[in-house]
Amino acid sequence: MRKQIAAANWKMNLNFSQAQAFITELKSEQFDITDHRSVVLAVPAPYLQFTTEAFKEVAGFSIAAQNCYAQKSGAFTGEISVEMLTSIGVHHVIIGHSERREIFGEDNALLAKKVDLALEFGMTPIFCCGEPLPVREAGTQNDFVAEQLKASLYQLTAEQMSKVVIAYEPIWAIGTGKTATSEQAQEMHAYIRSQLATQYGQALADGVSILYGGSVKASNAVEIFQQPDVDGGLVGGASLIAKEFAAIIRALK
């Protein structure tokens, strides 16, 4: 079975004592983390090292950065390199979140470089794609997402592609409380998988985890995660409350 993943994206939320309290509470919860299920916590950069230490002995939990830069090192004030991340034991990174694309102007070409660099350093990129509302309303969401995949991922070899996790996050559902229906999620996830199959073959496509993101919460996670092509979720708001996120982890297939 493909890896089923519950990924938390805290964004720029929680101070350090709140983060510590969350970690203590989450660690006290019971989970059935088997070989095919895992949890990723994308915490703010100042907490990466602490969180990595806190989960070092906890099987199935990985820590992720919310971003990285597209250059190996140098005069890039304020940026974080993939080598810095791996040197403190962080091996996952979110790339291309819609907030990075929309607020910070990151385009498909820049994201392709970030994906390449992350893979070069042995990291797992969690590559985000998804359409804004006008595109969904025009009914052209498949073409829009296909272009995002093509422009940022199809330079990869099959071996590299097999290490990527994809998160489909319709922008109109992020932080809005408006979730895509489980049918809409399944439809797009199946489409993404079919695109990967065309590009890299069915066997590879069948092994890629495709997470859904957009107002996932404990109350809707089971229904969304049960869809055959949905392999868990990337969760923003609901991942800030340990009990809520714990319930989302337990909703994994």
**Cβ distance 88 to 68 under 8 Å?**
no
| Amino acid in position 205 | A
**Cβ distance 190 to 218 under 8 Å?**
no
What is the C-alpha to C-alpha distance for residues 77 and 85, in angstroms, rounded to an integer? 16
Considering only the stretches 64-72, 132-140, 203-211, 235-243, report the one whose residues sit in contact with ligand PEP under the rule CB under 6 A: 235-243
What one-character DSSP code corresponds to residue 173? G
What one-character DSSP code corresponds to residue 172? G
Q: Which of residues 234, 247, 251, 252 is near ligand PEP by CB under 6 A?
A: 234
- Look up 92 and say whether it is catalytic: no
What is the C-alpha to C-alpha distance for residues 68 and 111, in angstroms, rounded to an integer? 10
Q: Residues 110 to 139: which contact ligand PEP by CB under 6 A?
A: none
Q: How far is CA 230 from CA 28, 69, 134, in A?
A: 27, 29, 24
| Alpha-helical runs (H) found in 105-201 | 108-120, 133-138, 141-153, 158-161, 182-200
- Look up 97 and say whether it is catalytic: yes
Strand partners, 124: 92
Q: Which of residues 237, 242, 245, 248 is near ligand PEP by CB under 6 A?
A: 237
Q: Residues 143 to 172: which contact ligand PEP by CB under 6 A?
A: 169
Q: Residues 3 to 42: which contact ligand PEP by CB under 6 A?
A: 9
| Amino acid in position 187 | E
For position 175 contacting ligand PEP by CB under 6 A, the verdict is yes
92, 97, 131, 189: which one is catalytic? Answer: 97
For position 93 contacting ligand PEP by CB under 6 A, the verdict is no
Binding mask 203-222 for ligand PEP (x = CB under 6 A): ----------xxxx------
For position 60 contacting ligand PEP by CB under 6 A, the verdict is no
> Taking CB positions, which residue lies at the least distance from ligand PEP?
236
What one-character DSSP code corresponds to residue 252? -
Shortest Å, Cβ 224 to ligand PEP: 11
Shorter beta-carbon distance to ligand PEP: residue 232 or 236 = 236
Q: Which of residues 117, 129, 166, 235 is near ligand PEP by CB under 6 A?
A: 235
Q: Tokens for 21, please give them.
A: 């309290």
Q: What residues act catalytically?
A: 97, 169
**Which residues lie near ligand PEP (CB under 6 A)?**
9, 169, 174-175, 213-216, 234-238
